[in-house]
Chain A
Amino acid sequence: MKTRRDALRVLTASVALPILPVSAAPPAAATGALSPEELAVLARLSDLIIPRTDTPGAADAGVPALIDAAASKKQALASELREGIASLGGSDFLKLAPDEQTAALTRLASTPGGFFQTLKDHVIDAYYSTREGLVTELGYQGSVPLASFPGCTHPEHQRLD
């Protein structure tokens, strides 16, 4: 038999810490990866995914800048965003009527995975890591010292049968 080199693979242990959304890692001040035009489209797309309602939307919460900062640290993400934005017509996307924009995004969403999912994943991670998304929208109250932990106070939840 031929001498075969033991194909060894270095494993980079990636510790999946549930604490930190992916997009929360890069500093917001980093120089972005996207052009102003692309960023404008990204802002619109972010708002189509998480719009302003009675609470702030994705753009209000600064999501586009957070995604841009993430892209500036991750080449693959930057390319995917650029290509995805181009595939929607680049700046021309902004000239579409809102319902046309929604229709375009619905078409995009019908392909599983791909650009739509990337976009959605990043908008969600970013939005729900901001004060607007986590506190104003979802009502998160954690990460504060308490004297006691009340837990469930509802007898109807505590029944065994």
Chain B
Amino acid sequence: MKIQPAPEIHDVVIIGSGAAGGMAAWNLTRQGARVVLLDAGTRFNSARYWSHVRPWEWRQREARGLHPPEFYLSAKEQPYFTPPNQPFELIRVWGRGGKTNVWGRVSLRYSDLNLTEPARDGWEIPWPIRYSDLAPYYDKVEQLIGVNGGTDDQPWLPGSRFHQPPPNPRCGEYLIRRAAHQSGVNIVAGRRAVLTRQLGNHPPCHYCGGCGRGCDIGAFFNSSDYLLEPALLTNRLTILDNAVAARILVDDQGLASGVQYFGRADKQERVIRAKRVVVAASCVDSTRILLNSRSPRYPNGIGNSSDVIGRYLCEQIRFHMYAFLPELMGGPTHNDDGISGEHIYMPRFDPPAGAKKDYLRGYGMQFWGFGAQEGASFSKQLPGFGADLKQAIKKRYPALVALHPYGEVLPRATNRITVEGTPKDAYGVPLARIEYSIGDNERKMAEAMYSTCEEILHNANAEILPYQRGSLDVSGGAIHEHGTCRMGDDPKRSALNKYCQSHEVKNLFVVDGAAFPTSTEKNPTLTILANAWRATDYMAGRMKAGDV
């Protein structure tokens, strides 16, 4: 008989390498922990990005048989299921850095008002942390990754003295700011994780507008270049690529003891042992892993005696309005690329005190797509054809503005991810089913969102492209999933404590957006980074003390 060597037991295994997993790996290794990170994909090769390829060159390249990097995970490889008439668009990137390779880089601090709102309006559980818990981490994250923006403090949007200078606004952005101002709506410098100044060995942005295709010079934060690479330099990080985590294993004491995973290429099952497990596979994938981690001890999924894991999925409602500004129509075309996407932001806007507000929570607004774009698809909505149409398009091309409000969706127990009775993936692991719908609160909020957009555009005397009042993007489109493994002080109503540590399984941490009790109206990644740093600081402290 061959004697098997005892398997190595690592200090920590982390699942996922996006914003959350990258931060956990960086922070834990720098504090001395030996970490193994499982990532479902591989490193994207930025030297091969098509950052600067223009549409006609794109075609020429494809005709030569070349392909741009494929960031997005195909739902053919990893399907998920939704009930009829309840579509949910789940957008995933598997690979080192996850969705941060292509994210929109909007980096907003949550305000204390966001975090205390559930306690004020009584809808579901409050956040167990306050702004003062996050603020020092926001400061540190902004310095680490480079966020440009204003120093201005808004009630719903804290400023920061660590922001790099924001890029100059475009013509349309100034004009929309003025139009909003007329209605008492405040528009401020955006806050975005794009370098306007050199940061360490990361060069500043050169304003090519190619971010959506990946930045070939790494001038915006992505977890792979900014967190994993420095962590690898410590020699305490091992990354296992193409390692698709399936289940968290438990020992006799009910503690997490490792992870079962499958090779994405060879489909072989493997096990890795560790003293602590950090889950950071992005909200939906993390939740699926937790729910699939069933054992006699945890028949409902690891750490899920409370039955809250999988529930309270919350995202944001969103729509888009497009219009043309009279001041810019027929004017010269400028290079409007900038840092790609908006240079401004509308912090959450509530009706003034005393005015009607018939919904809970609120909405903010983004403004990507101003001015000269790499196409003119708006023209399909202009009437007619011929020389008149061609003229009408040219006249409007420099004058395009686009309003994209994001509204908070309330957490509800019935909006949930489950894995019971679903088909299995290629490795035999049950896939996720997502049941998600919005309610009256969101429909009322959408009315207010439409009214605000209309008012701003009317103030601007803008020509608005046809739209259908009340229509919303397919759920999931905001790509800000939260809530399905939430933190809270009450173990009956939450899965994690305020340090993202499982109430039940003390060596298990979940550090991505799944831990957030509410979705807020904001983009979450800056807060995911700050919170993962905070949680892993706590974890490192407990490790040193010998409690986990």
Which residues of A sit under 8 angstroms from B389, Cβ to Cβ?
Answer: 49-50
Which residues of A come within 8 Å of B, CB atoms? 6-15, 17-21, 24-29, 48-51, 53, 66, 102, 105, 109, 117, 120-121, 124-125, 128-131, 133-134, 137-152, 154, 157-161
Which B residues form the contact surface with A (CB < 8 A)?
52-56, 58-60, 62-63, 72-76, 79-84, 87-92, 167-171, 173-175, 177-178, 181, 206-210, 212-213, 327, 332-339, 343, 369, 372-377, 379-380, 384-387, 389-391, 393-394, 397-398, 421-423, 433
Query: A48-B386, A146-B206 known; A129 and B55 CB under 8 Å?
Result: yes
Min CB distance, B472 to chain A, in Å? 14
Once A11-B89, A51-B390, A141-B334 are accepted as A-B contacts, the answer to whether A151 and B167 lie under 8 Å apart by CB is: yes
Q: Which of B55, B210, B423 touches A24 (beta carbons < 8 Å)?
A: B55
Q: Are B89 and A121 in contact (CB under 8 A)?
A: no
Q: Chain A's nearest CB lies how many Å from the CB of B174?
A: 4
Contact of B56 among A6, A7, A13, A130 (CB under 8 A): A130
A15 to B73, CA, bound (A): 10
Nearest 7 Cβ contacts at the A-B interface? A151-B168, A139-B333, A129-B55, A27-B63, A145-B206, A8-B81, A128-B376
Establish whether residues B170 and A152, one from each chain, have CB atoms under 8 Å apart when the complex forms.
Answer: yes
Min CB–CB distance B134 → chain A (angstroms): 30
CA distance A19 to B87 in the complex (A): 24
Query: How long is the Cα–Cα vector from A150 to B373 in the complex, in angstroms?
Result: 17
Which of A18, A50, A157 neighbours the largest number of chain B CB atoms within 10 Å of its CB? A157
Taken together as a complex, chains A and B put the C-alpha atoms of A159 and B167 apart, in Å, by: 18
Partner of B337, one of A6, A18, A142: A142
**Which chain A positions have C-beta within 8 A of B373?**
18
Shortest CB-to-CB span from A113 to chain B, Å, is 12
**Inter-subunit contact B380/A120 (CB<8 Å):** yes
Known contacts being A12-B75, A142-B337, A149-B338, is A125 close to B375, with CB within 8 Å? yes
State A158–B170 Cα separation when bound (angstroms). 10
Would you give the shortest CB distance from A44 to chain B, in whole angstroms?
A: 12
> Chain A's nearest CB lies how many Å from the CB of B159?
18
Please state if B379 and A124 are interface contacts (CB–CB under 8 Å): yes
Check if B72 sits within 8 Å of A134, measured CB to CB. Answer: no
Q: Which residues of B contact A102 (CB under 8 A)?
A: 386
Q: Please tell me which one of the listed residues B177, B208, B394 contacts residue A146 in the complex, with CB atoms under 8 A apart.
A: B208
Is A11's CB under 8 angstroms from B80's CB?
A: yes
Report the Cα distance A14→B169, complex, angstroms: 31
